[in-house]
Amino acid sequence: MKFSIISLDDNSAARTGLIKTDHSKIETPVFMPIGTNGVVKTILPSELYEINTNIILGNTYHLFLRPGHKLISEAGGLHQFMNWNKSILTDSGGFQVFSLAKLNNISNDGVKFQSHIDGSTQFISPEISMEIQQSLGSDIIMAFDVCPAAGEDKTIINNAVDQTVKWINRCNNYIENHRSLYNWNQCLFPIVQGGIHHDLRKKSVDQMLPFSKCGIAIGGLAVGEEKNAMFDIISLMNEVLPKDQPRYLMGVGRPTDLVRAINLGIDMFDCVLPTRNGRNGQLFTSQGVINIENSRFKDDFNSVDKECKCTLCNNYTRSYLRHLFNINEMLGLRLASLHNITFYMNLMQKIRIIINENRFDNWSKSFLNQFSNDPRM
């Protein structure tokens, strides 16, 4: 994997760049739609290609439990299994082990947990996480880390930082001693932890940098901490992380948060927000978020967003989409999800153009001011 910086904004830390994997070229800043179980919910790969999606995210924990990484490997890897010919980044499964699984038990060896699906006892270690991700054929592999919850005692967060550095050593050793199963390169991203504590974040960065050969991730944010505290840490990361590698902010996805983070030098994002909100009738538009099930849209025969050219906005009205949601028609979920992902893809494209034109600082202030009273944005 290679990363090159294309342009820098003069009045902020915003930048555009290009990531090259063996599967695709990815312009940054980039938003990666979530394909947790090997599918971006309700959306066809061909529809993602049409809106210039060049990378999606899959999840090690979920694919390990169902259908199993060995079956996916037999199919030729996740790209072949889901008929996706662009890049794939896979989360290590660490966050899901701690957030979804029951009765997780952390040791130096790894994590023993009960599956959230059937209660069966499972175990994932750094080596097993790497084995799974190599079997999936991910272009970008995430290190197995410990992600403590927001509000945890500083001692617990420090222990998580210490455990994470032990595990990145083991992840790296596994990758170096086990060749890829496929004819493309796979790149390992370490993950910086440390909660909202500056000293622990700096400590984690120092520990992760020796393993940061092609990119680095910022984990443990957007887990319940105050918004200002989150951006304080992102600002710190801009000061201490390498400038010549992509920075991936994990799990942050509100449009205004993306703009603020890009202002602080972040290159990569992922979040379930566009698809999850879409399935619940919340649509992102150039004028803010609308809830399509609201009665005021019953006889609204306008498109959802006049500035959008997605399948929904080109062909259907707000009234019709509301009708689909009222009758629990799957087409409504599909159209709303595709619209929201299109909104995110268009927003990222617009931001890249604005950064290249050295207008990001002024534009971002206007954007944030426009939606300052809409917490859903």
Q: Which entry of 9, 145, 270, 305 is annotated as an active-site residue?
A: 270
Query: Which distant-in-sequence residues (6+ apart) come within 8 Å of 168 by Cβ?
Result: 126, 143, 145, 190, 191, 207, 208, 211
Look-up: residue for tokens 């079956």?
71
* Joined tokens for residue 144: 């197995």
- Tally of residues, the chain: 377
- Active-site residue, 270 included: yes
Cβ-based neighbour number of residue 45 at 10 Å: 18
**8 with 15: CB under 8 angstroms?**
yes
Cβ-based neighbour number of residue 105 at 10 Å: 12
* Joined tokens for residue 208: 């992760």
**305 with 286: CB under 8 angstroms?**
yes
Give the closest residue to 344 by CA, choosing from 305, 374, 295.
305
Q: Which helix (H) or strand (E) is 30 found in, with range?
A: strand 30-32
Q: Which entry of 9, 91, 145, 267 is annotated as an active-site residue?
A: 91
> What DSSP line would sit under 195-260, residue for residue?
TT-HHHHHHHHHHHGGG-SS-EEE-S-SSSS-HHHHHHHHHHHHHHS-TTS-EEETT---HHHHHH
Give the closest residue to 324 by CA, choosing from 297, 289, 286.
297
> What DSSP line would sit under 47-116, residue for residue?
HHHHTT--EEEEEHHHHHHTT-HHHHHHTTSHHHHHT--SEEEEE-SHHHHHHTSEEEEE-SS-EEEE-T
- Active-site residue, 91 included: yes
Give the closest residue to 279 by CA, choosing from 41, 39, 7.
41
Give the closest residue to 63 by CA, choosing from 82, 45, 44.
82
**86 with 54: CB under 8 angstroms?**
yes
Residues identified as active-site: 91, 270
